[in-house]
Structures are given as structure tokens and as C-alpha cells.
Amino acid sequence: MSLLPTCRDDCLALDAADPLRALREQFDLPPDVIYLDGNSLGVLPRATLPRLQRVIAEEWGRGLIGSWNHAGWMELPRQVGDKIARLIGARPGEVVAADSTSINLYKVLAAAIELARQRDPRRTLIVSERENFPTDLYIAQSLAAQNGMTLRLVDGEVAPHLNEQVAVLLLTHVNYRSGAMHDMAALTAQAHAAGALTVWDLAHSAGAVPVDLHAADADFAIGCGYKYLNGGPGAPAFVWAHPRHADRVQQPLSGWIGHAAPFAFSPDYQPAAGSARFLCGTPPVLALHALDCGVDTVLAAEPLGGVAALRAKSLALADLFLARLRERLDRFSIRILTPQDHARRGSQVSFAVPGDGFALMRELIDRGVVGDFRAGVDGQPDLLRFGFTPLYVRFVDVWDAVEAIHAAMLGGAHKQTVARLGVT
């Protein structure tokens, strides 16, 4: 995949020779749609509908309440978590699937703050990027206010801001706007050298790029289930704590499922061992089964090289997209924000166009090319984002997508003004 295709037939040849091509059959893709928005919502796996039908009709319909025991419903957070662990460099028993990314971030960031302040009460800073995903910043703002701390948002390099005042470094591994990827191991080492703990958001990493939490010596991590893990809209998220912390911290949402013995119904809370203490409420059985099907689609790549093979194809797809953008859209003065360097790039490409990016994206969707739009704030440009999920995206899809973008730009779609939808 090192040589870029020079024509559409080259793309078809690459797709025919692609060792991962059969993985596309796992998904129920709409006909005549080029779907490049897996970085926002993954495609429906074919296995999900029959799985949910079985769970609803048999386990719930016939098994009724007995299925909490006979169908293993209570074990789903750990079972799905163990599968996700294989994708992020964690070990069995260390990951649980539960709640949303925002709620899990609240849990681990609160735990990290408490742990850091126990070590040194003078540490009063949480450091993050100004362009971090808003929910991460909102949660951090809330916890900073609750703990008498300050959230410091930085632009550019993060390392110079790590000092003896920092309690926690909170970063998203792959930036949701630009697609730029941090060096997790290097920044974790720098944070530790400054005496700080790290919390990593893997929403745009898990299932898309190689992640090894233990090799990076990370402290805490959370992530999303409905992007590259294909768990469906609003799928449960996941949470991980390094074993050196997991039995020492007490997260603030001490619900009954995180109790050491939930069905003892003790009036006093005693946290479960390890990452299980980060559970809170009753497991969402249907959503966890859907997530389980989604994670299976990624694990299906293991005999073919696993995440490393997915990453190689993703980079090749994005390389083609970037090359074709520069060739076909240079005259339109587009601005590419995603790094060219493979080591600094996630699994998406983001660019800005002069004019109305939302109008252009709506035109592309009408043409059968689905990406997404993110509005600029504080002087930043509006962005069009395109995700390259190698499980189902083909080289010919990339070729045809750029041709559609070129045609839409020639037609002046970016010069139009259209009413923005509630969800953009």
C-alpha cells in the first residue's frame, strides 16, 4: 500500500488485493453511500440486529428476570471490557464497559485529582488542550471548581506547561477537530517526571490506532463505544485504571453495581476490587450486547494482523485522500489541518474551505458522501472531517469521495447558505 493509486482502476485493484476486504461484509452498509463518518458513528454490524432480537425475544421475553443469572447479564460490563482491553493494551479484568464517556471521565478525573492531592495538596492545576473535546473541558471545569483548582488550557506544545503545580494532565489521544495524535508514552513520562497523573480520552483511538496503555504507563483512560467500536448510537463507553491505582482510589459515583457485594444490600458502600469499582448503575443489557457485536467486528481483524493491519490500511486510505485533495482542490485554497506525518495522525482528515463548510457538507451528503461538519469557535475555521475506518472503507471510496468534493466545489456549494440542523 506504499504506492498511491494514480487512477480509479488502481483503486479497484488495491481493493481486490486487500487482505482486509472480507471484513467489510460484517456491516450492513446502505447502497450508493460512501460512509466516511465512522469517527462520529460507526456502521451497523450485521450481527447486531439478530443478537438484539434474540436477547429481547428469548432472554428478556422468556427468561424474564432470571436472565440476570442464566444469561449472564450482570457480567456484560466485564466481558465486553475484556474484549476492549485487547484493543488498548490493557489486561483481562482491567476494563469495564459502562455509562457514557462524560460520566466515566468524571469518575476517573475525580479519582486522579484526589490521588494527586493526597500526594501533594499544593498541586492545584489541571492541564488540557484548548481544542480538547468540549465535554472533557466541561467536566474538568466542573471538577476544578469543586476542588478549588484551576483548569489551564494550552495552545501548542503541552510539555512546557507541566510543572510542580500540575495535578493531572487530561488529553484526548487523537484530537477530534484536527485528527492530530499525541505521543502518549512521551507525554505520560513527562507528566510523571513533573509529579502529575495522566487521564487519556481514547474516543478517537480505540479500534482505530494502536494503543498500549501499559507500555505508555498511563494512569487512567476512558473511551467511546459508538465510533470506531461500532457499538451504535449512544453505546456504553469504557473505563480503565492502572492496577497500581485501581484498588487505591474511590470514584465519586459510588453506585450499587460498583459495590464489592451488590446483593448484600449493605447500607454502607464498600468498593469492588480493581476497575469494577468504576461501575455505577445497572448494566444496560441491550446496549452492551450491541457494543459487544461492534467490538467483535474490530477483533475480527486479529487473524489478519489486528489493529496494526487496520492502522496500515487507514494510513494508506488517508494518504490517498490527502494526495487527491491537494491535486483536485488546490485551486480552491482549502486548508488541511491534519498532520501529514503518520506518527502524528489519527484515522481522520480534517480541512477547511473558504465559505460555508456546512453547506458543502450537506451537498456532499446529497451526493452520497457522508462526512461531518464541526463549527469553528474563537476564531478557528469551520471544519469538514472525514474518517477512514479500514474495516469497511475502500480505496475506490476515497477516490470517488474526492471527485464528489471537487464537483461540489465547482458547483459553488460552499458559497451557498443553508439552515443548520440541530445536530451538526
Among residues 227, 311, 313, 367, the one annotated as catalytic is 227
133 is catalytic: yes
Q: Does residue 310 share a domain with residue 293? A: no
Q: Does residue 409 share a domain with residue 264? A: no
Sorted by sequence, the CB contacts under 8 Å of residue 212 that are 6+ apart come out as 88, 89
The DSSP secondary-structure symbol of 58 reads I
pLDDT, tens digit, 9 for 90 and up, residues 70-86: 999 999 999 999 999 99
Pairwise pLDDT comparison (250 vs 208), residue with the higher score: 208
Predicted pLDDT of residue 97: 98
> Hey, what long-range contacts does 147-152 have (CB within 8 A, 24 or more apart)?
147/113, 147/117, 148/124, 149/113, 149/124, 149/125, 150/124, 150/125, 150/126, 151/125, 151/126, 151/127, 152/125, 152/126, 152/127, 152/128
pLDDT, tens digit, 9 for 90 and up, residues 225-240: 999 999 999 999 999 9
Q: What is the pTM of this model?
A: 0.96
Q: Does residue 351 share a domain with residue 334? A: yes
Predicted pLDDT of residue 414: 86
226 is catalytic: yes
Separation between Cα atoms, residue 198 and residue 157, nearest integer Å? 16
Among residues 27, 106, 133, 278, the one annotated as catalytic is 133
Boundaries of domain holding 136:
72-299
Classify residue 396: in a domain, yes or no.
yes
The secondary structure of 252-267 as a DSSP string is S---GGGBSSGGG--S
* Count of domains observed in the chain: 2
201 is catalytic: yes
**Burial class of residue 30, CB neighbours in 10 A (0-12, 13-18, 19+):** exposed
CATH number reported for the structural domain that contains residue 358 in this entry: 3.90.1150.10
Separation between Cα atoms, residue 287 and residue 252, nearest integer Å? 24
Predicted pLDDT of residue 419: 83
Predicted pLDDT of residue 2: 53
91 has pLDDT over 70: yes
Pairwise pLDDT comparison (152 vs 3), residue with the higher score: 152
Mean pLDDT value across residues 213-223: 98
Predicted pLDDT of residue 415: 84
Separation between Cα atoms, residue 83 and residue 76, nearest integer Å? 11
Binned at pLDDT 50, 70 and 90, residue 377 comes out as: confident
Q: Does residue 312 share a domain with residue 253? A: no
Q: Does residue 291 share a domain with residue 186? A: yes
Beta bridge partners of 335: 352
3 has pLDDT over 80: no
Q: Does residue 95 share a domain with residue 227? A: yes
Q: What is each CA distance from 147 to 114, 117, 123, 222, in whole angstroms? A: 9, 10, 11, 21
Q: Does residue 230 share a domain with residue 137? A: yes
82 is catalytic: no
- Please give the share of the chain, as a percent, with pLDDT higher than 70: 100
62 is catalytic: no
Mean pLDDT value across residues 103-123: 97
Q: What is the chain's mean pLDDT, rounded?
A: 96
- Please give the share of the chain, as a percent, with pLDDT higher than 90: 93
Classify residue 50: in a domain, yes or no.
no
pLDDT, tens digit, 9 for 90 and up, residues 307-347: 999 999 999 999 999 999 999 999 999 999 999 999 999 99
Among residues 27, 226, 358, 395, the one annotated as catalytic is 226
Q: Does residue 407 share a domain with residue 274? A: no
Runs of H (alpha helix) within 167-305: 184-193, 213-216, 243-246, 285-299
Domain end, chosen from 259, 275, 299, is at 299
400 close to 321: Cβ distance less than 8 angstroms: no
- Output b/e per residue, 130-142; b: 16+ Cβ within 10 A: ebbbebbbebbee
